[in-house]
Amino acid sequence: MGEASEGFRQLRCGFPLPNPPPYRGRGFCFLGSGMTLTDAIARLPKAELHIHIEGSLEPELMFALAKRNNVRLRYPDVEALRAAYAFTNLQDFLDLYYQGMSVLLTEADFYDLAMAYFRKVAGQNVRYVEFFFDPQGHTARGVAFETVINGLTRAQADAAAQFGIQSRMIMCILRHLDEADALRTLDQALPYKDKIAGIGLDSSEVGHPPSKFKRVFRRARDAGFLLVAHAGEEGPPSYVWEAIDVLGVDRVDHGNRSLEDPALVQRLAKDRMALTVCPLSNLRLCGVKRMEEHPLRRMLDAGLFVTLNSDDPAYFGGYMNENFAGVGSALSLSAAELRQIARNGFAASFMPEAEKAKALAAFDRGV
């Protein structure tokens, strides 16, 4: 597939990235008829299943909302904020992520946040999205649950009308908070079951195993929600086992460290348990030191059901196309492999079966 560009080879964990990243559109081999791999990726229809909507808050919008809401930020300008994106681990990022949330106060703020994301990915041929949101990060600041939901659902409707992007919401539980708070948040979600497709688990992983929230997830399952959980990003393989066997998840978010446990790898492959892998996130948070070390190739070789996603693209230097291009170039993935991964995004989605079959048929026809 050829070597990565010079700009891409310079990417290492913890380094702030310009936006767009320097490797974008450069350094790929040709696939015939003058088409580069970057062109092929741009044309691929995509489904994104691991995107924190608050993590799509670009610095420019953050400052605009801060001004609109009279919120004082720690950083004087966009450049200073971007310079702070030199994370060395998940907690470094989360500290800044929660600060960014402070500008989100009104229904219009949540609408503008989500529409900016949908507008961006519409230009990357993303057709379907399942996005996370973190209500506890807002209700703790006095923002009403209803305010969050109303802003996001209004954006979903407008994104469908304007860009043809269909989407579903997944409400995440912040695992660094206690189970009682999580149960109260689940109670708040119940009146909005028609708007929230699933319940997830995110935030600081180490020291907060999935089993901490087994009662929450049991109640969520009984209420009819689909279930996902972040596991095996920084936490050990045992967290992935717990997500599957204790929480009963339908999909695992990240799952990278599963490769340390051969029995777990065999189980994931046998059950065809989807993993929502986020390469640029792993690089920026130092889960890997260089993209060439990313475990995606080993996941594919082990027969795991993997999808590619952007996680928190405003902070990690790239949306869907940049994640496909970055890991594809670094690991010499073929165009056929990248196409299969893109198809997996639709296959692993929570679309109803008839809708999923229609989306997969359109993908296979190249529509």
Just list the catalytic residues.
Answer: 233
CA–CA distance, 54 with 141 (Å, rounded to integer): 15
Contact criterion met (CB below 8 Å) for 176 and 159? no
Helix count and strand count (H, E) for the chain:
18, 8
> 302: which 2 tokens?
């082990």
Q: Which helix (H) or strand (E) holds 356?
A: helix 353-365
Contact criterion met (CB below 8 Å) for 20 and 315? no
> 322: which 2 tokens?
């940049």
* Helix (H/G/I), strand (E/B), else coil: 188: helix
* Helix (H/G/I), strand (E/B), else coil: 306: strand
222 contact partners, CB below 8 Å, separation of at least 6: none
Strand order in the sheet with 274-277: 46-52, 126-133, 166-174, 196-202, 226-231, 251-254, 274-277, 305-308
> 283: which 2 tokens?
């690089």
289 contact partners, CB below 8 Å, separation of at least 6: 12, 13
B/e letters for 112-129, b = 16+ CB within 10 Å, e = fewer, are: bbbbbbbebbeebebbbb
Q: Which helix (H) or strand (E) holds 276?
A: strand 274-277
DSSP string covering 40-59, please? HHHHS-EEEEEEEGGGG--H
